[in-house]
Amino acid sequence: MTVQNRKTILAIESSCDETAAAVLRLENSGSAAGFPKIKTLSSVVKSQISLHSKMGGVVPEAAARAHVKNILPVVKKALTGACNSIFDGRQKLSCKNGEDVLSQIDYIAVTAGPGLIPSLIVGVEFAKALSLATGKPVIPVNHLSGHLYSPFGRLTAKSYKLKANFFPMISLIVSGGHTILVLMEDIKHYKVLGQTVDDAAGEAFDKVAKLLGLPYPGGPQIGKLAAKGNPAAINFPRPMINSKDYNFSFAGLKTAVLYYLRDNPPTAKSYKLKTNVCASFQQAVVDVLAAKTLRAANEFKARSISLSGGVSANLALRKSLNLKSKTFNLKFFAPPLSLTGDNAEIIGMAAAFMLFNGYKPKSYKAVKADPNLEL
Ligand code: KG4
Ligand code: ZN
């Protein structure tokens, strides 16, 4: 393999409340089991959680302002962080200057949507300006395909071999804005089987956390309290668990929690009540997600299941899908915890898969932020 065969990608993510940049390398050869070989050289995430937790949720205008402030230092940090790997010791550089690395970048990948438009615009326009200045092409990436491909970007050749023959695959994407069930026919072709008709799974976690007075983002807080509670304590509804389609609904479940808390108001001392509410609510979400994913796997004769998105950090969900996959002799893929939430590494991975699948980047002029971009 020659050095020229490698493609280096600078990836930028700003769709919601994380300003992130990463540098990845796509090796042009040595792919295993028909998958691209990707190496992450650097990844930087500047979270805005402290800003938004004061407000109880993401405030788009505030998020956009923070992106504007953070994007240049974040991109520079990712570039300098990749310097040593990029130059392979071939050149002696101080690696303090991001511009040295910029000259080695082949593509600029950026999240084009879906997301909050004021946030998206910052990353997209930054990437376009960088493209204009450097002549490097821009790859607009669908944020959801970043999640979709996130379980595969860091797999080693050995694990590819172990898990070979994994298509068709049923992929469950669960994030703050989306709950989507996807049928992946192969590495390039996929179709959406169903999605939420109201709240996304992550949104339901965040709203229930708010009802319990827990800080934003509520998903991880609920997960922690749930681990101490009894998942069978309260029989919350499992909306649409038996519906024939592959759609989801979580608004009713959230309302059921609201009514339960109205009838059983927690006090400062009712730690047990809170842990039981969290565990029982979480179990209801996990049951619905797992049942529909398994039903789709059965219907489409899947060989494997994959899980991704912010809510895939939820240990009960990971455990349930992993166990059920084993029971039905399906392979199971999930990203490492560091790649479950929003970051630029997964955007770079999706761009690498696009290039690997033959995508030809167009001029930056054709690239636009689209808040409603569909998978
Ligand atoms: O993918 P992501 O970072 O952003 C979007 O694309 O929306 O997902 C964020 C969502 C939030 O709703 C957050 O509460 C949820 O993922 N989340 C979790 C956990 N960690 C993050 N939900 C349940 N359990 C967790 N451990
Ligand atoms: Zn996301």
Distances (CA, A) of 363 to 70, 114, 132, 187, 295: 26, 21, 9, 25, 42
Task: Report the candidate in 348, 295, 18 with the shortest Cα–Cα distance to residue 152.
Answer: 348
17 lines ligand 1 (CB under 6 A): no
- Cα–Cα–Cα angle for 68, 73, 79, rounded to 5 degrees: 125
- Work out the pLDDT band at 32, boundaries 50, 70, 90: low
Strand partners, 11: 22, 109
Predicted confidence (pLDDT) per residue in 272-284, tens digit:
999 999 999 999 9
Rounded to the nearest angstrom, the gap between the alpha carbon of residue 249 and the centroid of all alpha carbons in its chain is 20
Span from the CA of 94 to the centroid of ligand 2 (angstroms): 34
Q: What residue type is 318 in one-letter code?
A: R
- Identify the weakest region by mean pLDDT among 45-49, 283-287, 335-339: 45-49
- Work out the pLDDT band at 35, boundaries 50, 70, 90: confident
Q: By the 8 A CB rule, do 296 and 170 touch?
A: yes
Rounded to the nearest integer, the mean pLDDT of the chain is: 93
Predicted confidence (pLDDT) per residue in 76-111, tens digit:
999 999 988 888 766 666 777 777 889 999 999 999
Distances (CA, A) of 174 to 54, 157, 182: 25, 27, 11
Span from the CA of 289 to the centroid of ligand 1 (angstroms): 15
Span from the CA of 310 to the centroid of ligand 1 (angstroms): 3
Q: What is the mean pLDDT of the segment spanning 7-14?
A: 97
- pLDDT of 53 reads 82
Mutate to test the pocket of ligand 1, among 311, 319, 321 (most ligand atoms within 8 A of CB): 311
Q: By the 8 A CB rule, do 143 and 115 touch?
A: yes
Predicted confidence (pLDDT) per residue in 141-169, tens digit:
999 999 999 999 888 766 766 667 889 99
Q: By the 8 A CB rule, do 279 and 258 touch?
A: no
Q: By the 8 A CB rule, do 151 and 334 touch?
A: yes
- Identify the weakest region by mean pLDDT among 19-33, 256-270, 353-367: 19-33
Ligand nearest to the CA of 346: 2
Mutate to test the pocket of ligand 1, among 145, 148, 175 (most ligand atoms within 8 A of CB): 175
Span from the CA of 175 to the centroid of ligand 1 (angstroms): 5
Q: Is 234 helix (H, G, I), strand (E, B) or coil?
A: coil
Q: By the 8 A CB rule, do 72 and 122 touch?
A: no
Q: Which pair of structure tokens corresponds to residue 216?
A: 């934003």
pLDDT exceeds 60 at position 3: no
Q: By the 8 A CB rule, do 5 and 28 touch?
A: yes
Which residue has its alpha carbon closest to ligand 1 atom 10? 176
Span from the CA of 123 to the centroid of ligand 2 (angstroms): 15
115 lines ligand 1 (CB under 6 A): no
- pLDDT of 359 reads 95
Span from the CA of 175 to the centroid of ligand 2 (angstroms): 6
- Work out the pLDDT band at 2, boundaries 50, 70, 90: very low
118 lines ligand 1 (CB under 6 A): no
Ligand nearest to the CA of 281: 1
Higher pLDDT, 277 or 363: 277
> Of how many residues is the chain composed?
375
Q: What residue type is 158 in one-letter code?
A: K
220 lines ligand 1 (CB under 6 A): yes
342 lines ligand 1 (CB under 6 A): yes
Higher pLDDT, 267 or 351: 351
- Work out the pLDDT band at 75, boundaries 50, 70, 90: very high
Span from the CA of 46 to the centroid of ligand 2 (angstroms): 14
- pLDDT of 323 reads 98
Q: By the 8 A CB rule, do 265 and 200 touch?
A: no
Helical spans, DSSP H, in 178-270 = 201-211, 218-226, 251-263
- Work out the pLDDT band at 31, boundaries 50, 70, 90: low
Give CA–CA dist 117/30, Å, rounded: 38
Which residues touch 220 (CB under 8 Å, ≥6 apart)? Answer: 313
16 lines ligand 1 (CB under 6 A): yes
Which residue has its alpha carbon closest to ligand 1 atom 16? 310
120 lines ligand 1 (CB under 6 A): no
- pLDDT of 134 reads 95
Which ligand 1 atom minimizes the distance to the CA of 217? 14
DSSP state letter for 14 = -
314 lines ligand 1 (CB under 6 A): yes
pLDDT exceeds 90 at position 52: no
% of the chain surpassing 90 pLDDT: 80
- pLDDT of 366 reads 93
Q: What is the mean pLDDT of the segment spanning 327-350?
A: 97
Q: What is the mean pLDDT of the segment spanning 12-32?
A: 87
Give CA–CA dist 36/31, Å, rounded: 5
Q: What is the mean pLDDT of the segment spanning 285-302?
A: 98
Span from the CA of 340 to the centroid of ligand 2 (angstroms): 8
Predicted confidence (pLDDT) per residue in 204-228, tens digit:
999 999 999 998 889 999 999 999 9
Q: Are strands 107-113 and 138-142 parallel, antiparallel or unpaired?
A: parallel
Phi/psi for 5 (5° steps) reads -70, -20
Span from the CA of 27 to the centroid of ligand 1 (angstroms): 31
% of the chain surpassing 70 pLDDT: 94
- pLDDT of 88 reads 73
pLDDT exceeds 80 at position 371: yes
- pLDDT of 1 reads 38
